[in-house]
């Protein structure tokens, strides 16, 4: 589980003046679901394309299964890779099945797997219709199906849930879990943090071409030490006792708001603070808000000095 399958070592790519990817390093382990997260234009797709050997890095090195992506033997590695490009567009005149047959032939996939794959993504009925008439979601499903041709061991999925409805997105993540059980390694890119944070094993945050940090959601929370929010609703709009209780926690901030209050606090003080609050009279309810990945991401984006400190910790 822990051996690195994809190694990205200090990769840089520029387009003219624009530095698309700068000194990016990553190590993706066998069998994990890994996600690159960043805003549009953060360099995710460029890094993706370099990992697939579609673009040559200006400097640095990328290896998949120990093979340099520029090497002649990489063709063999490619047979075990599935790729879903961002905004994939197929040949309009071909049907879903013909598209699969064509791409499958190039990949050396068993033609007998085509219909089961189309069925899996819910395109069985539409298999003989031209792609021209497919909706955006159907095209995305076809894109996912073709990525699974040839039973790949590594999947690269660039913004895979674009165009899917909520049910489709749910289904999609169930597929991913199923594939992980089979030991498939998956690399996803996304700008939708809230959606992805429960679905992946590790994430890497990207901003303006740099990888700011990488790790599991839990690890990143620890690293960043984001404050937790505790919402306290009171029986009477009386802030005095609350203020007294908080006097022992000078670093916690209190924001009163008509009969309730929000306490913003260092997460290390969570338990002592809760103990203090539980001894207090006149509290109706307490809600604890853990920082989401979204907060985390925004935190990074807004405070570059933190990212500077974390660079040493990039996995």
State in angstroms the smallest separation of the CB of 131 from another protein: 11
For the sheet with 228-234, list strands across it: 253-257, 260-265, 228-234, 283-289
Q: In this complex, which beta carbon is closest to another protein, that of residue 90 or of residue 300?
A: 90
State in angstroms the smallest separation of the CB of 113 from another protein: 16
State in angstroms the smallest separation of the CB of 147 from another protein: 9
Q: Are 205 and 217 in contact (CB under 8 A)?
A: no
Q: In this complex, which beta carbon is closest to another protein, that of residue 11 or of residue 50?
A: 50
State in angstroms the smallest separation of the CB of 138 from another protein: 16
State in angstroms the smallest separation of the CB of 158 from another protein: 9
Q: Are 184 and 155 in contact (CB under 8 A)?
A: yes
Phi-psi region of 299 (alpha: psi -120 to 50; beta: other; left: phi over 0): alpha
Q: In this complex, which beta carbon is closest to another protein, that of residue 185 or of residue 199?
A: 185
State in angstroms the smallest separation of the CB of 83 from another protein: 4
Q: In this complex, which beta carbon is closest to another protein, that of residue 75 or of residue 248?
A: 75
Q: Are 8 and 59 in contact (CB under 8 A)?
A: no
C-alpha pair distances (Å), 167 with each of 113, 164, 306 = 25, 8, 37
Q: In this complex, which beta carbon is closest to another protein, that of residue 111 or of residue 308?
A: 111
User: Considering only CA atoms, which of 309, 287, 294 is closest in space to residue 226?
Assistant: 294
State in angstroms the smallest separation of the CB of 233 from another protein: 52
Q: In this complex, which beta carbon is closest to another protein, that of residue 53 or of residue 209?
A: 53
Binding residues vs another protein (CB under 8 A): 49, 52-54, 72, 75-76, 78-79, 81, 83, 85, 87-91, 93, 102-103, 105-108, 146, 156
Scanning the structure block, which residue is given the tokens 């890094």? 47
Write the burial class of residue 98 (CB in 10 Å: 0-12 exposed, 13-18 middle, 19+ buried). middle
Q: In this complex, which beta carbon is closest to another protein, that of residue 152 or of residue 209?
A: 152
Q: Are 139 and 90 in contact (CB under 8 A)?
A: yes
What lies within 8 Å, CB to CB, of 293 at 6+ separation is: 37, 193, 194, 196, 197, 203, 217, 220
């Amino acid at each position: 589980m822990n051996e690195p399958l994809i190694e990205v070592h200090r990769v840089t790519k520029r387009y003219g003046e624009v530095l698309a990817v700068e000194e990016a390093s990553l190590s993706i382990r066998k069998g994990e679901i890994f996600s690159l997260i960043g805003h549009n234009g953060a360099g995710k797709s460029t890094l993706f394309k370099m990992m697939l050997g579609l673009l040559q890095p200006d400097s640095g090195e990328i290896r998949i299964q120990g093979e340099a992506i520029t090497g002649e033997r990489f063709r063999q590695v490619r047979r075990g890779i599935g790729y879903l490009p961002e905004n994939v567009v197929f040949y309009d005149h071909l049907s879903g099945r013909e598209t699969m047959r064509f791409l499958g032939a190039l990949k050396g996939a068993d033609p007998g797997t085509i219909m089961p794959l189309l069925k899996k993504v819910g395109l069985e009925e539409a298999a003989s219709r031209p792609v021209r008439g497919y909706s955006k979601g159907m095209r995305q499903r076809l894109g996912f199906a073709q990525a699974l041709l040839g039973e790949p061991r590594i999947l690269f999925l660039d913004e895979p849930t674009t165009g899917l409805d909520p049910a489709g997105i749910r289904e999609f993540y169930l597929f991913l879990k199923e594939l992980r059980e089979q030991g498939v390694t998956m690399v996803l890119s996304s700008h939708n943090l809230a959606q992805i944070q429960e679905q992946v094993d590790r994430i890497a945050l990207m901003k303006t071409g740099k990888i700011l940090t990488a790790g599991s959601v839990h690890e990143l929370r620890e690293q960043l030490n984001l404050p937790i929010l505790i919402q306290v609703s009171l029986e009477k709009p009386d802030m005095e006792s609350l203020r007294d209780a908080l006097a022992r926690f000078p670093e916690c901030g209190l924001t009163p708001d008509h009969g309730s209050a929000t306490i913003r606090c260092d997460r290390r003080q969570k338990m002592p603070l809760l103990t203090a609050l539980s001894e207090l009279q006149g509290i109706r309810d307490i809600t604890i808000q853990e920082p989401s990945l979204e907060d985390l991401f925004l935190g990074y984006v807004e405070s570059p000095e933190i990212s500077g400190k974390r660079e040493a910790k990039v996995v």
